[in-house]
Chain A
Amino acid sequence: MTGAPPATPRGTRPATASATAAGARAGARRQSDALAGLGTMVRLIVRRNRVRLTVWVVVLVGMFTYIASYYHTLFPTQKSLDDFAAVSNTPGIKAMTGLSAAADTLGGAVWTKGWMTIALSLAIGSAFLVTRAGRADEEAGRTELLRSRMLGLHAYATASWLVNGLLCLVVGAGIAVASAANGLDPEGTGIAGSLIFGASVAGVGLVGLGVGAVAGQVASTSRGANALASAVIIGFYVIRMVGDLGNGALSWASPIGWGQQMEPYAGNRWWPLALLLALAAALLTGAALLESRRDHGSGLLAERPGPASAPPRFASPLGLGLRLQRGPIIGWTVAVALSALMFGSIVDSMNTFMADAGGAMADFTRGIGVDALLAMLAGMIGLITAAFATQSAASLRTDEASGIVETQLAGGLSRTRWALERLLIPAVGSAVLLLLGGAGLGAVYGSTIGDSSQAVTMAGAALAYWPAVMILVGIAVALFGWAPSVAIPVAWGAMAAMWFATMLGEVFGLPTWMLDGLPFSAVPYMPLDAMSWAPEVIMTVVAAALIWSGVDRFARRDIQPG
């Protein structure tokens, strides 16, 4: 592990209570006490997360292995690899996943398909796991109970960093082994590319761990910590996206860009790994410093007094929901607006790349050209909006599990009204976000080419994703009604599965009819394709049926606190 404070022997015990007290009077704590109880904490974290940790390793390494072995059979000749490299050389691929520097090798093809998804998942997953044992436990009061025992200030955090750092290393090692076993390295390079691939994934994962550690010190709630860490990591992703589409300079401002620049199977560079490790170390050191300076339970921002009374609108579920989800609503709006502006500003500058890319096998990538790119970006706005909508819909179950809904339902409020008013937020909110994102994207692109009608065109193209987004809301609500105890993980799982199937379905060899049946692929691919009403109407009806079924069930079943 990098960045951990100087290690002391495990199980170190404070010498005496009076020595500690004397240290506290002097304003400094005994350094040697900081990690007391580390071994116990490592065991606790492994025990609490053994299933999660195993799932992460199996899913990420398994996904890589599957792509590698599938591509092995898909591209048996150099000719087929050359064709695939030509097809992959599109702005869309560069924007979403990055393009391998050795795109015409088997390893390069696998890298283009899988690296970004795996590295990004590991980075965000590491950050979330750090929050789980860090800010979430502190918020729930469990850490307080632990800290009342003989436990050093940094022991719990360090244990969590060690375990999650090990997760990154294991995933990296697993991928390196799978890569070497599938013979992804070009002839004559040994297994250097395989090692670089694994190391680059692990390195990005460690940076995610560091980001999560700092976020857990800055934010005072676990939700805030996860939101902050995700925003920073997605920021890294967007920065490199803009860089990869331009001259590449900006990619160097992003740790994800550093991981890409290790160029497995091509340049096989080790030195960007040093940048990743140094950043991870710096972040963890910063987190440890923050932890030693702040009070237990607090974030960097102090709690201020609030209003002594509430406006009448808070008595309606909608009014209260808008107030409680104010932070996420503002956050997602900013995220969509910034993405739209960024996407819009890069469209025109990519025309050069379009011309170079050629029209071969255009049908394979669903078309080449400005319209295809715009349609792809509208889809990205749709995906971001879907995450907002899933979060907002899943909050129905969150409120039930925490018991907070009971005091509301003990008032003169029917369950149906409570649920339906709350669902107005994802329903109307997604429509607004889609319109905002599409219009922003179109307006910025339109201003670069002097075509003001683009704002309206793109607003429509993005809004076409509303029925698909509402299907995800419908799934979350139906789960909330029928299977409340698993609703939140399964709703997010459905969201992630939709995302993966849309992006990687072809790799996993899923049948075309199934892929076409996914809500996100069923949406008319505008402006490349024309609007078609049938899928939109069908999806809206299905979404309404799912929502009705879930709400109706909720009105009839027992309230089940988590």
Chain B
Amino acid sequence: MAIEIEGLTKSFGRVKALRGLDLTVPTGQVTGFLGPNGSGKTTTIRVLLGLLRADGGRATLLGGDPWVDAVALHRRIAYVPGDVTLWPNLTGGEAIDILIRLSGSLDPKRKALMLDRFELDPTKKARTYSKGNRQKVALVAALASDADLLLLDEPTSGLDPLMEAAFTESIREIKSEGKSVLLSSHIFAEVERLADRVTIIRDGATVESGTIAELRHLTRTQVTTVVDSGADGLAAMPGVHDFVVVDGRASFAVDEAAIPAVLAAVAALNPRSLMANPPSLEALFLRHYGSELAALAGGEPK
């Protein structure tokens, strides 16, 4: 295991940021870390970095204690913060070199490759960079270093879709080298695309954890079909939820267990078309956080 966390607690004054959080990141896998703003994702990562000392629980990072063995462990990890702060009067290239050398040796070829891939001009002063470009600086520094474990805190916020593709490619390479990744994100599609496992937290505690396939197992498949008549009968079937008909198109969600029966019933209605989508993490998320998250998810640019 690259990361093992059990019952982690941390308070700031009277505010309980973490209340018994569990998280595991298996070696050689990408683990998604999902939760709404203020749910404790960044606090967890800061505990893993030894920047904060946990009040209780157990956290193990690459077999060591993140607080006691911080310096030794940091030679083997790379970190991309959600909000990147750089030295305003140094260039992006200088900042990248400093960050890489702080945890190991610099491989100029790898740095050049990443600069090229993320189309970053390393000669500009950090104060002139946009948020996206500051993010790229931290990403290039993390991806160009030879770390065993990457801690990424919403690493693609501020990146355009092309750069997100470059990021996806890089993470797949990292994974193929047998390295581990903890990917905290709001972008469900990205986690779905990259992660082997997902941990969902809320209010500082883990609410759901497992492989993408396991979590799908818990949710409903979204079905849309066009039938000439009789669609209303489907609404009454067990395991069918959120049934609506708009312009002859019937849409509903089906529990995993009810899929065979429901599909048989649809087939009996001679459908003109049928679409079935696997449940998205977004749906998972909404199921756990309900209405309070609807606004958040709606505001997330896709």
Q: Are A303 and B128 in contact (CB under 8 A)?
A: yes
Whether the pair A413, B93 counts as a contact (CB closer than 8 A) is no
Say yes or no: is B244 at the interface (Cβ < 8 Å to chain A): no
Give B114-136 interface residues, CB cut-off 8 Å to A. 121-125, 127-128
Picked from A303, A308, A403, A559, the residue with its CB within 8 Å of the CB of B83 is A403
Question: Which of chain A's residues has its CB closest to B151's CB?
Answer: A410
Chain B interface size, as a band, is 35 or more
**Residues on A with beta carbons closer than 8 Å to the beta carbon of B75:** 411-412
Complex-state Cα separation, A558 to B70, whole angstroms: 13
Known: A310-B97, A558-B51, A558-B52. A412 touches B74 (CB 8 A): yes
Bound complex: CA A412 to CA B77 (Å): 9
**Most chain A beta-carbon neighbours within 10 Å: one of B94, B111, B138:** B94
If A309-B122, A558-B51 touch, whether A414 touches B71 (CB-CB below 8 Å) is: yes
Contacts A305-B123, A306-B123 given; does A559 touch B93 at CB 8 Å? no
Q: Does A409 contact B (CB under 8 A)?
A: yes
Do B94 and A402 touch (CB < 8 A)? Answer: no
Contact B52–A305 (Cβ < 8 Å): no
Residues of A within 8 A of B86 (CB): 404
Q: Which of A515-562 contact B (CB under 8 A)?
A: 556-559
Bound state CA distance, A402 and B124, in angstroms? Answer: 20
Size of interface on A: residues with Cβ below 8 Å to B: 31
> Quick check: A410 and B101 within 8 Å, CB to CB?
no
Cα A407 to Cα B98 with chains together (Å): 10
Chain A residue, CB-CB nearest to B74: A412
Which residues 406-429 in A have Cβ within 8 Å of B in the complex?
406-414
- Does B189 count as interface, using CB distance less than 8 angstroms? no
Complex CA distance for A309 and B95, rounded to whole angstroms: 8
How long is the Cα–Cα vector from A408 to B104 in the complex, in angstroms?
A: 12
User: Given A221, A306, A407, A408, which contacts B94 in the complex, CB threshold below 8 Å?
Assistant: A306
- Pick the contact of B102 from A303, A323, A408, A558 — CB < 8 Å? A408
A480, chain B: closest CB distance, angstroms: 16
Q: Within the complex, what minimum Cβ distance (angstroms) separates B126 from chain A?
A: 10
The answer to whether the Cβ of B91 comes within 8 Å of any Cβ in the partner chain is yes
| Contacting residues, chain A, for B89 (C-beta < 8 A) | 221, 324
Give the contact stretch, choosing among A195-203, A284-292, A312-320, A360-368: A312-320
| B103 pairs with A308, CB closer than 8 A | no
Residue B91 contacts which of A308, A557, A558 (CB distance < 8 angstroms)?
Answer: A308
Contact assessment for B71 and A309 in the assembled complex, using a CB-CB cutoff below 8 Å: no
Distance in angstroms from B137 CB to nearest chain A CB is 10
User: CB of A307 within 8 A of chain B?
Assistant: yes
Give every chain A residue within 8 A of B83 (Cβ-Cβ): 403
A306/B74 contact (C-beta < 8 A), A403-B85, A409-B50, A410-B49 known:
no
Q: Does B87 contact A (CB under 8 A)?
A: yes
A407 to B139, CA, bound (A): 12
Is A314 a contact partner of B46 (Cβ separation < 8 A)?
no
7 sample A-B contacts, Cβ–Cβ < 8 Å, listed by A number? A221-B88, A312-B106, A314-B98, A409-B51, A410-B51, A558-B53, A559-B52
Interface, chain B (partner A; CB < 8 A): 46, 49-53, 70-72, 74-75, 77-79, 81, 83-91, 93-99, 101-104, 106, 108, 111, 121-125, 127-128, 138, 151
- Residues of A in contact with B (beta carbons under 8 Å apart): 139, 221, 303, 305-310, 312, 314-315, 320, 323-324, 402-404, 406-414, 556-559
| 13 further contact pairs, Cβ within 8 A, besides A221-B88, A306-B91, A410-B78 | A303-B125, A303-B127, A308-B93, A315-B97, A402-B85, A403-B83, A406-B46, A406-B51, A406-B81, A407-B85, A410-B77, A558-B53, A559-B52
